[in-house]
Amino acid sequence: MNRFAHEKKSHSLLRQLLTTAVIFLCAAFFLVIGTNAVSSTASDEQAKSLQTAITRSAVQCYAAEGAYPESLDYLCEHYGISWDAEKYVVDYEILGANLMPTITVIPID
């Protein structure tokens, strides 16, 4: 039996283990990066959805009552708008009773 054959096998086994470990770490890294990208995209889409809901409620209020709501609290009480205040900051700026308010939704990271 060749006495060097055993050492060659151990180096081969070590190389296979290192290759497997590197492939696993790369896959885990890309999984984490992909998850973060999806989470960020979902948060942006939720912010857009919230802004759309607030805008539609303001327009519905204008159609039903003849004026845009004076505050965001009015929309919350009478039109069922709600959001997670720990995730989003909502700015509702009134320009006048007959002018569409400026609505800004900012995700908090």
Classify residue 86 by its DSSP letter. Answer: T
59-63: long-range contacts (C-beta < 8 A, 24 or more apart)?
59/100, 62/100
Mean pLDDT, the chain, integer: 87
pLDDT at 24: 92
pLDDT at 36: 81
**Tokens 């497997």 identify what position?**
20
pTM of the model: 0.67
CA distance 49 to 47: 5
The predicted-structure confidence for 20-66, as pLDDT tens digits, reads as follows 999 999 999 989 988 887 777 888 888 999 999 999 999 999 999 99
Number of Cβ atoms within 10 Å of the Cβ of 57? 20
Helices in the chain by DSSP H: which ranges? 5-65, 72-79
CA distance 4 to 106: 66
Q: Do 90 and 69 contact (CB within 8 A), yes or no? A: no
